[in-house]
Chain A
Amino acid sequence: AQKVTQAQTEISVVEKEDVTLDCVYETRDTTYYLFWYKQPPSGELVFLIRRNSFDEQNEISGRYSWNFQKSTSSFNFTITASQVVDSAVYFCALRKETSGSRLTFGEGTQLTVNP
């Protein structure tokens, strides 16, 4: 079975603070893919990043960075200098190579950035 856990249900920060969203996953597969999506109040899931299990290199994209650690089965997401527009629900998701195309999502973290 595969599972994604986002232990932080809600996080509230003040603008310009850095914030890290945690994601822990479970899978027995050696090849898998991890994703982060953003869901603003409008409801549409916006793709942020995909990471393959065989590539542990961390990635930075502007104010966003991702820390992938296979040893702890974690794929954490950090927003630097948060802005009010970052307020949304963020989902971590897993796709196993052996599970076809289905994504397994965590329960999401509601991030609120206050001015």
Chain B
Amino acid sequence: DTGVSQNPRHKITKRGQNVTFRCDPISEHNRLYWYRQTLGQGPEFLTYFQNEAQLEKSRLLSDRFSAERPKGSFSTLEIQRTEQGDSAMYLCASSARDYPQETQYFGPGTRLLVL
């Protein structure tokens, strides 16, 4: 059973460019989450999906951010017109629907640096 995978692992971009990250959850996990982690801080929730439905979005998710999970499998997180403040680690997690006992399993993250 493979874990959560994320690509790319690292991304360097210039301010104003668009970037897209991909997350592949553990197979058969129907819930998928995105978190953002800045240096020296704990992860902060951004959004989550149950199957293809985006059920919750944090206020941290500005209009420049969009997430999709078109077929209820992998997900993409796009940041448009990147800003230096977007530099962070973007973590993806997935869980099976054994609510309320669910446990979220995390991927290795995508580290974004905006120059």
A interface residues with partner B (beta carbon < 8 Å): 4, 31, 33, 35, 37, 42-47, 50, 52, 91, 93, 97, 100-108
Contact = CB atoms under 8 A, between A and B. Distances in A.
Given A43-B109, A44-B108, A50-B103, A101 B91 contact: no
Contacts of B31: 101
Interface of B: 31, 33, 35, 40-45, 48, 55-56, 58, 89, 91, 93, 95, 99-109, 111
Nearest to B110: A43
Contacts, number: 62
Contacts of B40: 107-108
Contacts of B106: 37, 44-47
A50 B101 CA distance: 9
Contacts of B48: 100-102
7 nearest A-B residue pairs (beta carbon):
A105-B42, A45-B106, A102-B45, A44-B108, A43-B109, A100-B56, A105-B43
